[in-house]
Amino acid sequence: MTENNESNATHTAPLLEARKLSCERDERLLFADLSLSVGFGSVLQIAGSNGSGKTTLLRILCGLNDGYEGEIVWRGQNTTDVSEAFAGDLLYFGHRVGVSKILTPLENLRWSAGLQRHVDDELLLQALATVGLRGFEESPCYTLSAGQQQRVSLARLRLSSATLWVLDEPFTTLDVDAVAQLELTLAEHAERGGGVIVTTHHTLSIPGLAHITLGVG
């Protein structure tokens, strides 16, 4: 009976919770007593001015920064107790593009996808076409614009099986069409039951969007 109750609690719990997080950097308090949750099928935008701690918060949530107080819970369990399962179901994009400029978009995608599983080139080409890179698949990334390089990185979203996406300023350098396409990708991921945490200064047009702002209060 106890096992069933625990299983049900895990199933109905939010995807990710942060409970009473506090963090200081360079003797400056970034945030204190901060709590948030991301449910299955939801998108959470984290806003705030430069230096308010958005990137630090994302790295804490992803287990990449341990300089904080508080608790982070994944599917009802502390992330320290389920670290392997948590890492395996998480996709984190830092604010840097994260592509090798000497490789082509196809080579970059083939390498990143291969870290998880083998993916046929046909699917890689489809992902690149979806983000507007048809015709640039074999061009070295150093010949592409900053926005096109960002699209190479974002093509990985089309191949990801992770439930939780954590994205740090993914709209930077994107044009209007790419912004609309990325918003649609995030909304579709939520519709499939996934969760998204995103930092951006962009005004998002995603149904049911939740948001918090750092540096207020």
Mean pLDDT by 10 residues, the chain (217 residues): 40 87 90 95 94 94 93 95 94 87 95 78 94 95 94 91 95 90 95 96 90 80
| Helix ranges (DSSP H) in 62-139 | 83-88, 105-114, 121-130
- Tokens standing for 155? 């093509």
Q: Answer whether 68's CB lies under 8 Å from 23's CB.
A: yes
In this prediction, residue 7 carries a pLDDT of 39
Residue with tokens 């996934």: 194
What CATH number has the domain spanning 1-89+162-217? 3.40.50.300
131: which residues sit within 8 A by CB, 6+ positions away? 151, 152, 154, 155, 158, 178, 181
What is the reported pLDDT for 5?
Answer: 41
Instruction: Please tell me the distance from the alpha carbon of residue 63 to that of residue 208, in angstroms, as a whole number.
Output: 27
Question: Residue ranges of the domains in the chain?
Answer: 1-89+162-217, 97-161
Number of neighbours of residue 88 by Cβ within 10 angstroms: 12
Q: Provide the CA 73 distance to its chain's centre, in angstroms.
A: 17
pLDDT at residue 217, rounded to an integer? 52
Residue 95 has a pLDDT of 78
Alpha helices in 32-104 (DSSP H): 54-61, 83-88
Report if pTM > 0.75.
yes
pLDDT at 3: 42
> Which pLDDT score is estimated for 98?
83
User: Cα separation of 43 and 166, whole Å?
Assistant: 10
Alpha-carbon torsion 187, 165, 139, 110, what sign? negative
